[in-house]
Amino acid sequence: MKDIIRLNISLNDSAPLIWRELAVNSDISFAELHHTIQIAMGWKNYHLFEFNTEGYRIGLVFNDGIEDGLDINNLLDADTTLLRDIISSVGETIQYEYDFGANWEHTIEVLDFDDAIATDSYPVCLDGEMASPPDDCLNIHHYYYLLDVLNNKAHPDHGDIGSWISRDFDANAFDIEEINKDLSAIDRYIIQWRKRNL
């Protein structure tokens, strides 16, 4: 297998489609892939996650084996399971769910296996469109309702919108330079996340 895997990550049920194209090392762990997606999509990494593909479930395995009643049967450890161990061909897809309450579901498609491309480091964002919904705005359907309210000052709920979504939120925003700046510091990002959460 070549060293670099190109992936397309899209947020299910978004329209227009919210997506990112990433290049990652083939030996990236699924935990590292989770953090990469969080940065690239603009999520805040407040919630649990799980990957599903070909009958595999991959997520966080806690020391006591129990976390808030979650089903940990047949769950592979995201910290030790590598992307190259699970995927093997172009066109394969992986489902990625972030925030089990809101069910932000993403489809990850394997676009290609490459030799190293011209970049200083991996992972790197190659392309994308649209901002992701803010964390904790319930679900994709509520997000689009909030956008309607945000863009209609006459809407009866417009005055309460600030508790769900920033008034200066731009649904069309996609800043690849800022994403790649954050991805270049992903090791530090993961260390800080672990200190806060584990």
Tell me, what's the pLDDT at 157? 83
Spacing of C-alpha 121 from chain mean position:
19
Residues 130-145: tens digit of each pLDDT = 999 998 888 999 899 9
Residues 170-198: tens digit of each pLDDT = 999 999 999 999 999 999 999 999 888 86
Tell me, what's the pLDDT at 28? 96
- Give yes or no: residues 107 and 177 share one domain: yes
Tell me, what's the pLDDT at 66? 46
Q: Taken in order 170, 172, 176, 180, is the CA torsion positive or negative? A: positive
Distance CA 86, CA 94 (A): 10
- Give yes or no: residues 159 and 127 share one domain: no
Domain with 152 in it: 133-171
- Give yes or no: residues 53 and 123 share one domain: yes
- Give yes or no: residues 115 and 158 share one domain: no
- Give yes or no: residues 71 and 21 share one domain: yes
Q: Report the mean per-residue pLDDT for the chain.
A: 89
